[in-house]
Amino acid sequence: MTTTFDHVGVATTDGAELAATFETLFEAPLVHEEVFDGMALRFLELGDGYLELLEPAADGTIARFLDGHGPGIHHVALRTDDVRAALDRARDAGVALVDEEPRPGAWGHEVAFLHPKSTGGVLVEYVERDDAP
């Protein structure tokens, strides 16, 4: 099983404005947009990974995050070639899981989250991408 960087998720109240700012500052092109699970998602390509901008499209996880924490980094995502094996490894290491089993994520990828209480206060997402190199 390999694990590499995939993206950083950033919660924002205005994804279009932040995308335009990041496109200008970092020359990071917008490569994907979708509305998923109560969020408007925008992915900007940056080197070998992405910046994912998470804007609430309805009440839900990101709306609650913004209410409690304000805009900023929401999670760090790591690409894996086997999300189930990654979850097993985390479980065996005593890490608290948000997801016991993978679930559908953005772009139709399989994802699962590790609880921040076990990962230094950082919400970690595993992403299994069909298009991974």
CATH classification of the domain holding 94: 3.10.180.10
pLDDT at res. 14: 97
Give domain status of residue 26, yes or no. yes
* Rounded average pLDDT per 10-residue block, the chain, 133 residues: 94 98 97 95 96 95 96 98 97 97 96 98 94 53
Position 133 in a domain: no
Q: Does a structural domain hold residue 85?
A: yes
**E strands present in the chain:** 3-11, 30-36, 39-46, 49-56, 72-80, 103-104, 110-114, 124-128
Between CA 89 and CA 70 the distance in angstroms is 32
In whole angstroms, give the CA distance from residue 8 to residue 51.
5
Q: What is the pLDDT of residue 133?
A: 41
Per the structure, the complete domain to which residue 86 belongs is given by: 3-128
Give me the pLDDT at residue 81, please. Answer: 95
Tally of domains in the chain: 1
**What is the pLDDT at residue 130?**
75
**What pTM does this model have?**
0.93
pLDDT at 1: 81
Place of tokens 């298009």: 131
Residue 98 lies in a domain: yes
